[in-house]
Amino acid sequence: MEQRAVSGWTRDNRLQLLENGEVFFPRVFEAIRHAQAEVVLETFLWFEDDVGRQLMEALVDAAGRGVRVQVTVDGYGSPGFSSAFLERLTDAGVNVRSFDARPTIFRIRTNILCRLHRKIVVVDRQLAFVGGINFTEEHIRSFGAQSKQDYAVEVTGPVVGDIHEYCRFGNDVHAGSWRKRWRYWLRRFPRELKNPQEGAQVLFAIRDNEEHPTDIETMYRVGIRNAKKSIVIVNAYFFPGWRFIRDLRRAAERGVDVLLVMQGKPDRPVSVGAASIIYNDLLSMGIRIVRYTERPLHAKVAVIDDLWSTVGSSNLDPLSLGLNLEANLFVLDREFNATLRENIESLVSRSCEEVSAEGIPRKSLARRLLLTFGYHATRRMATWWRYVPWHEQRVLPMEAAAAPAWRRQFLPRSSNPSRSVRTAHDSREAAASRTDE
């Protein structure tokens, strides 16, 4: 286990790109139905709609066969289930937990910041799914005009061990060595891993508020700095910091073709407003921008040259880069790169419109100053938030998460807001796993 925890880049992995819920949900449900030992699932959204009920039935069936099932949902994205729905899960033996669940104040949810935004499924330590697709009908075309465009990856190979270990046991397993070696592998990436051997080289990168606050952003920037021909970033909420933008500008100055695919029909209009603040600057740097206008864009993927690519849950905005708990797979593989690039190019040619400087309304000096201040203030929001006196975020069993606030103060706490609470049973299993391996 220690070897897997600090492995960084892994070789001989196999990946399959999954586009939207029509492809993603059947593959996940099938994998859960064939699980023999364990299912570990983390998600931001899980609704009691048709997709949510299918997931529930698959998990209940797996638990009924003796499979250990652990589910962690976000307390803001998935604030609660009906009694019948939750009882069906818990009666079957499914361990359902909630990250940072808190009561509303005057019907207003107060736990909006620092969310468990990862979307991960691991089956039997052999197969994993990582991406941006939640377990809701919103990711299926039949949902209508507001259905989302998104991606996930199905992966087998050594990297599944890293994914499983992090999701199952949290940061507390060899945290110090993980951090030290992770930085080492990030630094070595440009020189040592340009020519992959057989099978895809994959790194599982996470973002939390303790050991790995900038890993995903660092991996993006390393890829951008080493780009030779092209950079294509498809991101629903694009509002990165100036260092990220500086790397894009320098890439464009080197003659790299830089293309940003953003939302044109957003589920949250504020996302387009935030991104448009920097449109003029990006265009003046020689960066092309297109907007996806067919339906809401929810994707968080990118390809660089003919080798590098990433798929995951992290947007390029202050919440994902500075507060949320995120997970991305970074891939060095020409075949996977070509598949994802072809999909993006089809999307751009079919359903995107080009953004030009002429099409952006001119802003007064006062408005430009206001937008500049707003940009830098928003970018620093994540840093400022860490100094605000706040509660200790916890992962609780779903039944406990639904308890009144006065009762929750007596429940077990996690000393690390990025890691899961481990029960005594979990601790024994972790010790047994380390002994066996």
Residue 121 lies in a domain: yes
Site of tokens 């751009």: 348
Q: Which residues are known to be catalytic?
A: 117, 119, 124, 298, 300, 305
Q: Are residues 264 and 311 in the same domain?
A: yes
Identify which of 71, 9, 30 has the alpha carbon closest to the alpha carbon of residue 205: 9
Alpha-carbon distances, residue 70 vs 66, 160, 419, 422 (angstroms): 13, 16, 14, 11
Residue 165 lies in a domain: no
CATH of the domain at 313: 3.30.870.10
Report the percentage of the chain scoring pLDDT > 90.
55
Residue 435 lies in a domain: no
Judge whether 66 and 92 are in contact, CB under 8 Å.
no
Q: Are residues 138 and 213 in the same domain?
A: no
Identify which of 102, 31, 25 has the alpha carbon closest to the alpha carbon of residue 69: 31
Q: Are residues 375 and 409 in the same domain?
A: no
Q: Looking at residue 126, what is its pLDDT?
A: 96
Judge whether 303 and 335 are in contact, CB under 8 Å.
no
Average pLDDT over residues 391-407: 58
Q: Are residues 324 and 394 in the same domain?
A: no
Q: Are residues 413 and 371 in the same domain?
A: no
Please state the domain count of the chain: 2
Average pLDDT over residues 296-309: 96
Q: Looking at residue 389, what is its pLDDT?
A: 54
As a whole number, the mean pLDDT across the chain is 81
The residue out of 358, 384, 410 marking a domain boundary is: 384
Q: Looking at residue 387, what is its pLDDT?
A: 63
Q: Are residues 152 and 239 in the same domain?
A: no
Identify which of 115, 148, 152 has the alpha carbon closest to the alpha carbon of residue 131: 152
Q: Looking at residue 374, what is its pLDDT?
A: 65
Q: Are residues 228 and 90 in the same domain?
A: no
Residue 111 lies in a domain: yes
Query: Is the model's pLDDT at 140 over the cut of 70?
Result: yes
Query: Is the model's pLDDT at 176 over the cut of 70?
Result: no
Residue 341 lies in a domain: yes
Strand 95-99 with 395-397, pairing: antiparallel
Query: Is the model's pLDDT at 410 over the cut of 80?
Result: no
Judge whether 167 and 175 are in contact, CB under 8 Å.
no
E strands, 150-306, are: 151-156, 200-207, 230-235, 257-263, 288-292, 300-304
Q: Are residues 147 and 219 in the same domain?
A: no
Q: Are residues 6 and 61 in the same domain?
A: yes
Kind plus residue range of the DSSP H or E element containing 213: none
Q: Looking at residue 212, what is its pLDDT?
A: 84
Identify which of 327, 282, 286, 264 has the alpha carbon closest to the alpha carbon of residue 115: 327
Range of the domain at 77: 2-159+390-419
Which pTM was predicted? Answer: 0.84
* Cα–Cα distance, 400 to 388 (Å, whole number): 26
Strand 151-156 with 127-131, pairing: antiparallel
Q: Looking at residue 278, what is its pLDDT?
A: 82
Q: Looking at residue 273, what is its pLDDT?
A: 60
Residue 436 lies in a domain: no
Q: Are residues 9 and 113 in the same domain?
A: yes
Q: Are residues 333 and 412 in the same domain?
A: no
DSSP 79-140: ----HHHHHHHHHTT-EEEEES----BTTB----SS-B---EEEETTTEEEEES--BSGGGS
* Cα–Cα distance, 80 to 92 (Å, whole number): 18
Q: Are residues 328 and 253 in the same domain?
A: yes
